[in-house]
């Protein structure tokens, strides 16, 4: 999805009501710029964007796995992992997003002690400073998956350093 003024950097929230809708719904369609483009599909590390699908296959999307505490399937290559949660490779590569800034909180650094806490402790055991860093980065929403994701990133870094 693309919104003028935001690109694809937005979240959809759902609201429910018993009021009747009077708006006419539009047919779902690709943006004209997407018709001959496959940059997002080519940048997807898990192949979640295929030519036969209009929308992302969420069951193959790295964001789906990174934000869930469930086991990441064996078919997801170690090289696909590049962040603690989410992915955004498709959005960051999209030419239609180049004029829009992804809102980022700036650089947040973790001490070795905080990294160890992320790997081994429950959120209620975090120091106030670590809790605040997690809140600023949005990690607190997916804290159950963060230790696993961090271990994968450390494993990947270790594997690439040994080559």
Residue 74 has pLDDT above 90, yes or no: yes
Dump pLDDT digits (tens) for 144-160.
888 999 999 998 888 77
Output the six-digit token pair for 140: 């607190």
CA distances from 75 to 69, 78, 106, 120, 148 (A): 17, 9, 33, 26, 16
- Hey, where are the domains in the chain? 1-9+30-103, 105-163
pLDDT value of residue 46 = 95
Dump pLDDT digits (tens) for 99-144.
877 666 678 899 999 999 999 888 888 999 999 999 888 888 888 8
């Amino acid at each position: 999805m693309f919104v003028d003024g935001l690109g694809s950097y937005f979240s959809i929230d759902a609201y429910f009501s018993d009021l009747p809708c009077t708006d006419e719904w539009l047919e779902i369609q690709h943006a004209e710029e997407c018709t001959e483009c496959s940059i997002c599909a080519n940048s997807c590390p898990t192949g979640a964007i295929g030519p036969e699908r209009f929308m992302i296959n969420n069951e193959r999307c790295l964001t789906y796995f990174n934000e869930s505490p469930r086991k990441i399937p064996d078919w997801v290559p170690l090289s696909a992992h590049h962040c603690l949660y989410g992915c955004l490779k498709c959005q960051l590569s999209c030419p239609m997003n180049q004029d829009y800034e992804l809102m980022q909180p700036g650089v947040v650094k973790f001490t070795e002690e905080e990294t160890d806490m992320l790997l081994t402790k429950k959120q209620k055991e975090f120091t106030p400073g670590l809790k605040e860093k997690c809140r600023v980065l949005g990690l607190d929403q997916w804290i159950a998956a963060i230790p696993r994701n961090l271990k994968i990133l450390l494993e990947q870094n270790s594997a690439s350093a040994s080559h």
